[in-house]
Amino acid sequence: MEIHELIDSASSVQRIYCGKCSSHLSLVFEVLDEIISGVHFKINGLPFLRCIQCQIRYLPDRSKSAILHLHRQAFEKGSDMITSDRKKTQNDFGFTKVPFIYDSDDYLYIPGLERDFDKGFLTPVFFNKEVLVKYDSHPSYRVQFASKTYGTIWCNDDFSVPFGINKHEKIVMWLGDISRLPIKEQYYLRSENVISDHCIGSEFYDGQIECVFTDLTPEDKLFKERSNFIESFYARFGTKVSRLDQEVLEISLSITRPTLDTPTEQKKLINNLYKVYVESLDKNILSKAIAKECAQKEIVNLGVLQRLKLFIAAVSSEEQATRIMQPLFLLQDLRLIHAHTGSEASKNKKINEIKLELEIDESSTTLEVHDALIAKLRESFHAITSSI
Ligand SMILES: [Zn+2]
């Protein structure tokens, strides 16, 4: 590298996206061992931004400035060698008396976080993902998802904290937002606080820093519709109709379009969809809502889908309920077909019937079945929300 290249590149701001593949870059601390216009730099622990896909590394703006400064010093002293062990910054940005673990280098070196005002507000603080489960199960809190990896924790509509889930499945929130929470909650969060993995590139970063909302995958859109349904149910009945336990959260994060078009993949996926979109619904809460809507006596011996159907019929109409529930019953049928041992011929016959109901061709692949089912489930959850 030549010094004039560095001066040229320092005139534009380094962003979090890889120049080659546009992936989010991660902050890393590595050795710079390079001759730059006649000066041999050997610096340990220099902050870089690395693309994990392409393995290209970029210099954050502050690292560029530091190299330019050191090069000038070496030039003035007539030296051709710079060796140093960089010390990490240890800034305490204040905001709260609760001693959260964070890395001030994240604030200073991850693009887009440093501001002239509220210094340190956008410092990422990392947590175990159990915090979402705790907040979801707490009666005063709700967890709302805008996608699988970006959402908001609400407390009785009094305040809200945006959060992201990074690619290592850690929860990320801003220090400034956390400091606005009641002190008791801050202490709880501190108990789940983990050291930074310097990785915040996500839909959370795009939405919060770049104000860009990435196109959601169909699976993400479905998860968002589920979240909207839970929200609208809460708005009307003041209670949560679905729970987010550890298992549901983990499965939700894992649901993506399968890469392999095999029956084993399909079976796993159908089971996962069933757990998140059917099993996580609270049967008793549904019964109470039905009773409230149409003074129906206590419902016993009915499965969760039958209760959901009764609920939709109660808030809209019988016809609506039948139409909306169809994809959910198809999901249940697919699960039963995959679970039971039977001859391949009889399984295929049943799957072909399902394909017809999904309005796809009998020759459709398992991936096409998946796509059609996801699309129909989305329509269903959207329609349930609208009828509430
Ligand atoms: Zn890249």
Per the listing, tokens 């004039």 go with: 4
CA of 57 to the centre of ligand 1 (A): 9
CB 102 within 8 A of CB 123: yes
Q: Over the stretch 4-47, which tens digit does the pLDDT of each residue have?
A: 888 888 778 899 999 999 999 999 999 999 999 889 999 999 99
- CA–centroid distance, 12 to ligand 1, in Å, is 19
Three-class SS of 119-188 = CCCCCEEEECCHHHHHHHHCCCEEEEEEECCEEEEEECCCEEEEEEECCCCCEEEEHHHHCCCCHHHHHH
223-247 pLDDT per residue, tens = 989 999 999 999 899 888 998 888 8
What tens digit of pLDDT does each residue of 319-371 get? 999 999 999 999 999 999 988 877 888 888 899 999 999 999 998 888 888 89
The CATH number corresponding to 3-85 among 3.10.20, 3.40.50, 1.10.10, 1.10.3470 equals 3.10.20
What is the Å distance from ligand 1's center to 311 Cα?
Answer: 48
The whole-number pLDDT of residue 322 equals 95
Cα(56) to centroid of ligand 1, in Å?
6
Where in the chain is CATH 3.10.20? Answer: 3-85
pTM for the full model?
0.80
Q: How far is the CA of 14 from the centre of ligand 1 (A)?
A: 14
pLDDT tier, 61 (very low <50, low <70, confident <90, very high otherwise): very high
Chain segment 75-92, per-residue pLDDT in tens: 899 889 999 999 999 999
| Ligand 1 geometric centre to CA of 18 (Å) | 5
pLDDT band at 296 (very low <50, low <70, confident <90, very high): low
